[in-house]
Amino acid sequence: MSVRGRFRANNSEAVRRAALNGHGIALLSHLLVADDISAGRLRVLMPAFPPARFPLTVVYPSRRNLPPRVRAVIEFLSEIIRADPAMREDGDVRAASHTEVYGQD
């Protein structure tokens, strides 16, 4: 594998393109690079050492009077996580309430 150059970015698409062009190693979401890996354009390095997971938190004021568009986004994200085993650590997918996050509602 040939790697050349020095590149840093805080935009995942820019990092993906740099990796595709041989500018180094990238740490990217499997959602972003699955097609590139399947097509052989990118390879997984050190599969025995997956990256650390971090929580995905959706914060909103209250479930009372929750706009339908916000509810739709929450449901969409929950469905993505439920459908993709790589997105969940223990299978527990649920929405935390405002009270659980802030201790009051």
Amino acid at 22: G
Number of domain units in the chain: 2
Do 39 and 59 sit in the same domain of this protein? no
The whole-number pLDDT of residue 93 equals 42
The count of other CB atoms within 10 Å of the CB of residue 16 is 19
Do 57 and 103 sit in the same domain of this protein? yes
Do 59 and 16 sit in the same domain of this protein? no
Whole domain around residue 47: which residue ranges? 1-51
pLDDT per residue as tens digits for the range 27-84 = 998 888 989 998 999 999 888 887 777 777 778 777 788 889 988 988 898 888 777 7
Do 41 and 83 sit in the same domain of this protein? no
Do 72 and 84 sit in the same domain of this protein? yes
Do 33 and 66 sit in the same domain of this protein? no
pLDDT at 103 over 90: no
Contact in structure between 94 and 100 (CB atoms under 8 Å): no
Contact in structure between 3 and 19 (CB atoms under 8 Å): no
Token reading at 16: 């993906």
